[in-house]
């Protein structure tokens, strides 16, 4: 049973997602590649993913990271960060303003803390075990 509300991790997710969104807002797509016949990856995906991975490694050096573009084969372990740098890359690449940056921490098989930043809507959703859910800092019910 999880008894921690992961305040430190939620604060980290909040600051990293806000900074990643700012970076993404100022980025120009340098390249677009087909990942599969139905999925794209952009230079922005790689840049945002690398930024977030660097931040995780600096703040939580013993944690593991599972990310969409670079660390796809990591298994969920005791503490594993799960990252999708741009969820909705096709929308992002086509200037459709419905995409987000997602980051979550799993502890064992439990999602302990998570967030998604929707840059074009300026919406940040955060949730944690025993800590509830917020939208832009306001409690959701």
Non-local CB neighbours of 35 within 8 Å, separated by 6+ positions: 41
* Residue at 118 is within a domain: yes
- CATH number reported for the structural domain that contains residue 126 in this entry: 3.30.540.10
Q: Model-level pTM greater than 0.85? A: yes
The answer to whether residue 129 sits within a structural domain is yes
Q: Is residue 21 part of a domain?
A: yes
Contacts of 128 (CB under 8 A, 6+ apart): 5, 6, 7, 9, 10, 112, 113, 114
Mean pLDDT, rounded, for 31-53: 80
In a domain, 41, yes or no: yes
Host domain of residue 112: 7-140
State residue 23's pLDDT score.
Answer: 94
pLDDT digits (tens, 9 = 90+) for 53-92: 999 999 999 999 999 877 666 677 789 999 999 999 989 8
Q: Provide mean pLDDT across the span 97-104.
A: 96
The domain tally of the chain equals 1
Phi-psi region of 96 (alpha: psi -120 to 50; beta: other; left: phi over 0): beta
Contact of 6 with 12, CB cutoff 8 Å: no
**Within a domain: residue 1?**
no
Q: Is residue 134 part of a domain?
A: yes
| Residue at 36 is within a domain | yes
pLDDT at 42 over 50: yes
Report yes or no on 2 lying in a domain. Answer: no
């Amino acid at each position: 049973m999880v008894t921690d509300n992961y305040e430190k991790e939620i604060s980290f997710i909040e600051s990293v997602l806000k900074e990643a969104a700012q970076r993404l807002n100022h980025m120009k797509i340098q390249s677009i590649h087909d990942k599969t016949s139905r999925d794209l990856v952009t230079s922005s995906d790689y840049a945002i993913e690398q930024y977030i991975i660097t931040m995780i490694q600096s703040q939580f050096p013993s944690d593991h990271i599972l990310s969409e573009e670079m660390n796809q084969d990591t298994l969920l372990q005791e503490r594993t960060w799960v990252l999708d740098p741009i969820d909705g890359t096709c929308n992002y690449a086509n200037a459709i303003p419905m995409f987000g940056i997602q980051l979550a921490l799993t502890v064992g098989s439990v999602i302990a803390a998570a967030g998604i930043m929707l840059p074009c809507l300026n919406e940040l959703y955060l949730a944690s075990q025993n800590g509830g859910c917020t939208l832009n800092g306001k409690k959701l019910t």
